[in-house]
Structure 1
Amino acid sequence: MNTDIRNANREAWNAGRYEVWVRAMGEPAAEAARITADPRHVLRRLLAHLGDVGGRRICSVQGSHGKIAVALALLGAEATIIDFAEENRRYALALAQAAGVGIRYEIADVMEAGALGLPTFDTLVLELGVLHYHQDLAAFFRVMAGLCSPGGRLVLNEFHPIERKLFHDFGDAPRDYFNTDLVIGDVPNPESGGARLGTCVYRFWTLGEVVTALLAAGFQLTALEEHPDWTNPAIPGAYTLVAVRS
């Protein structure tokens, strides 16, 4: 990724993000109580493809506020997050402490994860809003292959490109499924009616581009499921892709 773009995205994601999570989800103790009460609900989009996570080394790639990692840890996984936003780390570690579990949180651009010296993982989990921050998808999945143990699994639950490219408003981005231009759009704000938090640079990928880059990196595709959009069930809103590292 272009260094200027990466730094701009990191700055946007650190702009008061801890307070945003508090306003959207509550103080870490309150959110931890909800996760502890039903960790499987937090993982509802993923568990069918994860199986028993007890004792497994799982990396939540760009794991943000840590809800996925904390839920995994509550079910017995050894959970690690790689994410470049210190504000996310602050909330996630407070969340884990309140939930009574330990997680590892590495502050890093995931594209530089190889320099962290981490042991490889049994499973990589990527959920909702990961791929569009990367401008070189082939390089991204090569990094994922380096993080994943041979025979390990990658589970990606992501926004569907039809919803992102044709139905979602991102500034002046054209409603063109095959558009390859970079797009300037608002940083996600989970607060209902919340203020703008700045902008990020995005690259939206077609489903064909995703699968092709994944296969080229040495993964074997085992499942690809498409899910209805939450507000318009006549179109696909998300998809789940499962692959095994060769």
Structure 2
Amino acid sequence: MTGDTDTVTQANRRAWNASAHRHRQSEDWQRQRAGFADASFSTFDATVTEALIGNAVHGARAVQIGCNNGREVLSMLALGAAAATGIDQSDAFLAQAEELRAISPHGDKASFVCTDVYAMPEQLSGRFDLALITIGVLNWMPDLTRFLCAVSSLLAPGGRLLIYETHPVLDMFEPHGEEPHRPQYSYFRTDPFITEDEIVYDGSAAGKAPPSYWHFHTMGDIVTGCVRAGMQIAELTEQPHSNREVDYDIYVGNTAQLPLCYTLVATKS
């Protein structure tokens, strides 16, 4: 890891804030503004929809850590969550979340909290039945076990954590490289990627932003981190489809198919 956890976390916050305006300019933002006027509108794909339903999202007190612009918080409410809270450290993205909340018929059941994820507000401790982490959250975390302990603290006893993430194997490859199907990076790399590009995931050209830090975590790190955070692994399912940026679609449907994403369910002891 480069730098201490607090320094890296704040650097990533600045990078996300500087990138927020690009997301407001995207076609996805316009679709979300139009879509969330409908109470049934959801941005979830079939995999995470099935996983949420299977883990009793209906009637649950739900929380999403790393909620970005709140679209998935509102989507959990569309699936029947009793209430849903989104947590993120980017106030610029949470401003967008408040815009979507104002549009949604479920807005009165949604709330958003701006905080350092390593320092969760005490009033959130033990309040939730279901916690959700989705695509691209874990790799921004310089101290994965500490982060998962913070997530575990949000859950009531018996509460469930659902992770739907990019598979760590995918970080071995460089889709823009000369040989995109040849591993470029060690699975066990410990130094983060550092970039000064805006954080975008729609395939558009990125401008400049403050430096951000993307960390490698193996599947063993993730599973062990959940266990050390006081949770029991209930299910781990690896998937061959990509839930990452469109650049990674070149890894879908190959004869020698890589695992491209996964769902993990863990239960608070």
Shared fold, TM over 0.5: yes
* Between 133-142 and 146-155, the greater mean CA deviation after superposition: 133-142
Q: What is the CA distance between 1:190 and its match in structure 2?
A: 2.9
- Which residue does the alignment assign to 2:216? 204
Cα distance between partner residues in 1 of 2:131 and 2:117: 12
Q: Which residue of 1 aligns with 2:261?
A: 238
Equivalent residue number for residue 90 of structure 1:
95
- SS of the residue 2:152 aligns to: helix
Question: How many angstroms does 1:16 deviate by?
Answer: 4.8
- Select 1:53's aligned residue among 57, 80, 84: 57
1:161 pairs, out of 164, 168, 173, with 168
C-alpha distance in 1, partners of 2:175/2:152?
Answer: 30
Give the 4+ runs in structure 1 shifted more than 6 A: none
| C-alpha distance after superposition, 1:192-236 (max 9, x if no partner) | 323234241121100011111111111111111111143213211
Q: Which whole-Å deviations, capped at 9, do the CAs of 1:74-109 have from their partners, x for residues lacking one?
A: 233201001011111111111121122221100001
Separation in 2, partners of 1:118, 1:213: 19
For the Cα contact (< 8 Å) 2:133–2:163, is it kept in 1?
Answer: yes
Identity %: 28
Report whether the alignment pairs 1:151 with 2:158: yes
Q: Is 1:192 equivalent to 2:195 in the alignment?
A: no
CA contact (8 A) 1:138 1:213 kept: yes
Flag structure 1 segments of 5+ consecutive residues without an equivalent: none
Following TM superposition, by how much is the alpha carbon of 1:13 offset from its aligned partner in structure 2, in angstroms? 0.7
Count of residues paired in the alignment: 242
- Aligned equivalent of 1:104: 111
Q: Deviations over 1:139-172 (max 9, x none)?
A: 11111111111100000011111101334569xx
Counterpart of 1:67 in structure 2 is: 71
Report the alpha carbon displacement of residue 116 of structure 1 after superposing the two structures with TM: 4.8
Paired residues for 1:28-43 under 5 Å: 29-33=33-37, 36-39=39-42, 42=44
- The equivalent of 2:180 in structure 1 is none
Report the counterpart of residue 246 of structure 2 in structure 1.
none
1:22, distance to aligned residue in structure 2 (A): 3.6
Q: Do structure 1's residue 218 and structure 2's residue 230 form an aligned pair?
A: yes
SS in 2 for 1:47: helix
Q: Which amino acid aligns with 1:241?
A: L
Deviation, structure 1 residue 36: 4.2
Counterpart residue identity of residue 185, structure 2:
R
**Root mean square deviation of aligned Cα:** 2.4
- Aligned equivalents of 2:13, 2:260: Cα separation in 1: 26
Q: Residues 200 and 193 (structure 1 numbering): CA distance in 2 closer, same or farther, change over 3 Å?
A: same
CA contact (8 A) 1:83 1:106 kept: yes
Q: Is the 8 A contact 1:165 1:204 kept in 2?
A: no
Structure 2: give runs of 5+ residues left out of the alignment: 178-182, 243-248
> CA distance change for structure 1 residues 197 and 121 in 2, over 3 Å: closer, same or farther?
farther
Q: Relative to 1, partners in 2 of residues 1:114 and 1:43: Cα closer, same or farther, differing over 3 Å?
A: farther
Amino acid in the other structure paired with 2:62: I
- Where does residue 188 of structure 2 map in the other structure? 178
1:114/1:146 contact within 8 Å kept: no
Residue 136 of structure 1 corresponds to which residue in structure 2? Answer: 143
In 1, distance between residues paired with 2:19 and 2:52? 33
Cα distance in 2 between the residues matched to 1:169 and 1:133:
21
